[in-house]
Amino acid sequence: MSRAARLLDLLQVFRRYRHPVSGAALAEELGVSLRTIYRDIDALKAQGAAIDGEAGVGFVLKPGFMLPPLMFSEDEIEALVLGSRWVAERADQPLGQAARNALAKIGAVLPPDLRAGLDESTLLVGPGAPLSAGESELPRIRDAIRRQRKLTIAYADVNGASTERVIWPIALAFFDRTRVIVAWCELRNDFRHFRADRVVSLNIETTIYPQRRAALMKQWRIKLGIPLRSRAGD
C-alpha cells in the first residue's frame, strides 16, 4: 500500500474511533511501524488535520478537519455564489481562487438538489477595473495583517512624493475602484489609510506589532465613529 493511501486510511480510522487511539494500535492496524505512524501523523497535521496527541492517552482527531454536510436556503446559496463571484472578479488572484475553492467545497457537501443552484445561479457581477500594478502585493498585505506583522512601505502621496514608513496594518478595505490599507502609522503616530495602488514597495518585518489587532481595530472604529457592522449575525 502506498503512503498516500495509508494516510487516507489513517483518517478513516480516526473517524471511526471517537476515542483516543494509541500509536501502537494504529501501527498494528495499518501494518506499519510505530515510527512511521508518527511520521504519518506529522504529515496529516501539516495538511491541516487537527490531531491531538496526549502522552499516556493516545491520538484523537478533533472535529473540523473534514467539512460536514451543510444545508442552505436558496437565497443563501445565491448570496454565497454572488459574493464569491464578486471576490473572484474584484479581489486579488489568490483570494479569488480561494473563493472558487470554497464554493466548490460547499458544493461537494450540499444535497444534490441544492447543488444545482450553485451552477445555475443567475446573479452576475459586472467586470471591475483590473487591479493596478501596485496591487499585486495585496496577498502579502493580507498576510501581514493576518500575522500582525509590521510593514515597511514606500508610499507615494497624492503629489507623487514618496515617503518611507513603518505601519501596523489592521485591515484592508475594498472600494469600487481602490483598495485601502487601514493601519497605524509610526511616522504620524496615528491611524492612516493607504491606497494600495500607491504603495511603491513593501517589506514584511519579522516583528509583531505591539498591540493586538482587535484592539487597534476597535480604536480605529471609535475614532471614525463606525459602529460594529458587517458582522456575521446581526
Q: How far is the CB of 102 from DNA (least distance, A)?
A: 25
Quickly tell me which residue has 471511526 as its cell: 16
Query: Pick from a copy of itself, DNA, none: which does 99 bind, CB < 5 to 8 A by kind?
Result: a copy of itself
Query: Pick from a copy of itself, DNA, none: which does 41 bind, CB < 5 to 8 A by kind?
Result: DNA
Distance between CA 189 and CA 167 in Å, rounded?
A: 9
Distance between CA 131 and CA 189 in Å, rounded?
A: 29
Query: Pick from DNA, a copy of itself, none: which does 22 bind, CB < 5 to 8 A by kind?
Result: DNA
Distance between CA 80 and CA 70 in Å, rounded?
A: 13
Residues binding DNA (CB under 7 A): 2-4, 6, 20-24, 32-36, 38-43, 53-59
- 9 in Cβ contact with 17 (< 8 Å): no
Distance between CA 102 and CA 83 in Å, rounded?
A: 11
3-state secondary structure of 159: coil
Nearer to a copy of itself, 54 or 119 (CB): 119
Q: How far is the CB of 229 from a copy of itself (least distance, A)?
A: 9
Q: How far is the CB of 154 from DNA (least distance, A)?
A: 37
Q: How far is the CB of 16 from a copy of itself (least distance, A)?
A: 4
Dihedral sign, Cα of residue 29, residue 35, residue 39, residue 44:
positive
Q: How far is the CB of 205 from a copy of itself (least distance, A)?
A: 18
Query: Pick from DNA, a copy of itself, none: which does 218 bind, CB < 5 to 8 A by kind?
Result: none
Nearer to a copy of itself, 42 or 164 (CB): 42
One-letter amino acid of 96: G
Query: Pick from a copy of itself, DNA, none: which does 119 bind, CB < 5 to 8 A by kind?
Result: a copy of itself
Quickly tell me which residue has 479569488 as its cell: 96
Nearer to a copy of itself, 11 or 26 (CB): 11
Here the contacts of 13-21 (C-beta below 8 Å, separation 24 or greater) are: 14/51, 14/59, 14/60, 14/61, 15/61, 15/66, 18/60, 19/58, 19/60, 20/54, 20/57, 20/58, 20/59, 20/60, 21/58, 21/59, 21/60
Query: Pick from DNA, a copy of itself, none: which does 147 bind, CB < 5 to 8 A by kind?
Result: none
Q: How far is the CB of 101 from DNA (least distance, A)?
A: 21
